[in-house]
Amino acid sequence: MGVLDGITVLEVARVPPAEMPGMFLADMGADVLKIETPGLDHTDDPDAQRRAAFAFVNRNKRSMALNMKAPEGQEIFRRLATNADVIVEGFRPGVMKRLGADYETIRALNARIVYCSLSGFGQSGPAAGYPAHDLNYLSLAAVLGLIGERDRKPAIPLNLVADYAGASLHGALGIVLALFARERTGRGQHVDVSYLDTTISLLAATPNMRFFFSDGVAPKRGEGFLGGSYPYYAIYETRDNKLLTIACTEPWLWENFCKAINRPDLLKFARKPDQFVRAANAEEDGARREIEAIIKTRTRDEWYELLVKADVCVGKVYDPQEMVSDPQVNHRKMVVDVEHPKFGKVRQFGVAIKLSDTPGTVRTAAPVSGEHTEQVLSTLGLSREEIAGLRAKRVIE
């Protein structure tokens, strides 16, 4: 039994970051119905169908293709929303109102609804209607300018930060908090999640922002003890041209590392209190370069085995193929297989949140667009003739 068994979710999203909160809920047992636009997916293409089954953020969900621009489609959505617990939408402010499915409209039909809106800049403010993507949020949140080496352009960290760590995770948490509040009050509420807001929140938690408000000290790219310029927190190249990460920010861990490489004289380069925002000085940079030469004398895997045994914070810089083969990753069931009725075993990444009593599960691979349309309409009491009529009008697919 999943912790969210019995919770019904309607998802109206067109981008994976807005689809991921629903996946978290579905993994924990919620019944998540994706409302998709008819005609957008090539459902008659065998390769597209096969690839759809591997869509990480859509697993454990059902799919209904419904034209939300048609009055009949809007009416069907409102009927579904009347008995739903959660709605997740990922459009710019105003879009759902034009579709007759905004929070105020749905709340009038269902006072218990938890309605989560994920948008770039939130539901209010001078930028609320602006278009943007992860890179734009990173730049506006002052995150992008802090990532990378100081003498180069900032490094783009995929779309992990604003999209997924920001909007997706905060969206899922906001929904769960609102469901918890509903248990106490009996009322639902609007969960307003901004990609920009959540990115700023993530930055605020980092150590190099610790003294920004208190002391007016602003971090800069490539500086600070987590910027990569200090010897104890850096990326090193090994003899086989692979990469190794060392992250010994505690003095005792740095001591373990220095002993392991037979350089006790480098103990003096342990992290110091004044290094939160400044870059390494010439002597500290020289120590890092000395260590680079030492690390070059062995292979990545040789160093890893040696340093793990020495109780050092060390990591191999994996490519994706290596990651999915790692013993720890597999022990934690972060790579799993799910049976698909058409494609057999479909490999998926696992559930990261481990609950001891009500664990999440990967029950089904992602559906193709509209796979469950008829099933959903039948539960609303529509006859075969009525469903055929809606299909003829292109209200459904």
CATH number of the domain encompassing residue 308: 3.30.1540.10
Angle at alpha carbon of residue 184, lines to 183 and 185, rounded to 5°: 100
The 10 Å Cβ neighbour count of residue 184 is 7
Read off the pLDDT of residues 270-313 as tens digits, 9 standing for 90 and up: 999 999 888 899 999 999 999 999 999 999 999 999 999 999 99
List phi, psi (to 5°) of 196.
-70, -45
Q: Identify the pLDDT of residue 134.
A: 97
User: 179-183, 320-324, 337-341: which range is least confident on average?
Assistant: 337-341
Query: Residues 261, 351: one domain?
Result: no
Confidence of residue 208 (pLDDT cuts 50, 70, 90): confident
List the end-to-end C-alpha distance of the chain, in Å, as a whole number. Answer: 32
Q: Establish if 225 belongs to a structural domain.
A: no
Model confidence pLDDT, tens digit, residues 84-106: 999 999 999 999 999 999 999 99
Contact of 363 with 60, CB cutoff 8 Å: yes
Whether 19 maps to a domain, the answer reads yes
Q: Are residues 364 and 311 in the same domain?
A: no
Q: Kindly state whether residues 60 and 179 are assigned to the same domain.
A: yes
- Asked whether residue 217 is domain-assigned, the answer is no
Q: What is the pLDDT of residue 364?
A: 93
Number of domains making up the chain: 2
Average pLDDT over residues 104-109: 98
Residues 341, 288 within the same domain: no
Q: Residue 63 falls within a domain, yes or no? A: yes
Which residue in this structure is represented by tokens 């105003």? Answer: 94
- Give mean pLDDT, residues 56-67: 96
Looking at the fold, whether 238 and 104 belong to one and the same domain comes out as no
Domain end among 287, 317, 347: 317
- Residue 185 within a domain: yes
pLDDT at 45 over 80: no
Of 251, 286, 317, the residue at which a domain comes to its end is 317
| 180-191 confidence digits (pLDDT tens) | 999 999 999 999
Using alpha carbons, select from 62, 76, 37 the residue that is nearest to residue 368. Answer: 62
The pair of three-digit structure tokens given for residue 252, joined into one six-digit string: 């005792």
pLDDT in the model for residue 341: 86
Distances (CA, A) of 287 to 19, 87, 135, 229, 261: 46, 54, 34, 10, 13
The overall average pLDDT reported for the chain is 95
- Tell me: do 257 and 312 sit in the same domain: yes
Region for 148 from its dihedrals, namely left if φ exceeds 0, alpha if ψ lies in -120 to 50, beta otherwise: left
- 216-229: per-residue pLDDT in tens? 999 999 999 999 99
CATH number, residue 142: 3.40.50.10540
Dump pLDDT digits (tens) for 48-61.
788 888 889 999 99
290 and 255 within one domain: yes
Among 288, 317, 346, residue at a domain's last position? 317
Query: In which band, very low, low, confident or very high, does the pLDDT at 42 lie, cut at 50, 70 and 90?
Result: low
Residue 263 reports pLDDT greater than 90: yes
Q: Is 1 a residue whose pLDDT tops 80? A: no
Residue 96 placed within a domain:
yes
Position 51 scores a pLDDT of 85
Note down the domain range covering 301: 233-317
How are beta strands 86-89 and 243-247 bridged, if at all?
Answer: unpaired
Residues 303 and 347 in one domain: no
Q: Indicate the pLDDT class of residue 43, thresholds 50, 70 and 90.
A: low
Cβ pair 62, 98 in contact under 8 A: no
pLDDT digits (tens, 9 = 90+) for 143-192: 999 999 988 999 999 999 999 999 999 999 999 999 999 999 999 999 99
* pTM check: above 0.85: yes
Residue 343: per-residue pLDDT: 87
| Residue 207 counted as domain residue | no
The answer to whether the CB of 231 falls within 8 A of the CB of 288 is: yes
Q: Are residues 308 and 187 in the same domain?
A: no
Q: Could you give the CA distance from residue 82 to residue 75 in angstroms, rounded to a whole number?
A: 11
Residue 189 domain flag: yes
Same domain, 196 and 54: yes
Residue 3 and residue 53: Cα distance in Å, rounded? 25
Question: Both 101 and 192 in a single domain?
Answer: yes
Tokens 């610790």: give the residue: 210
Helix, strand, or coil here: 336? Answer: strand
In this structure, the answer to whether residues 252 and 308 fall within a common structural domain is: yes
pLDDT band at 39 (very low <50, low <70, confident <90, very high): confident
CB contact at 8 A, 219 and 154: no
Question: Is pLDDT of 40 > 80?
Answer: no
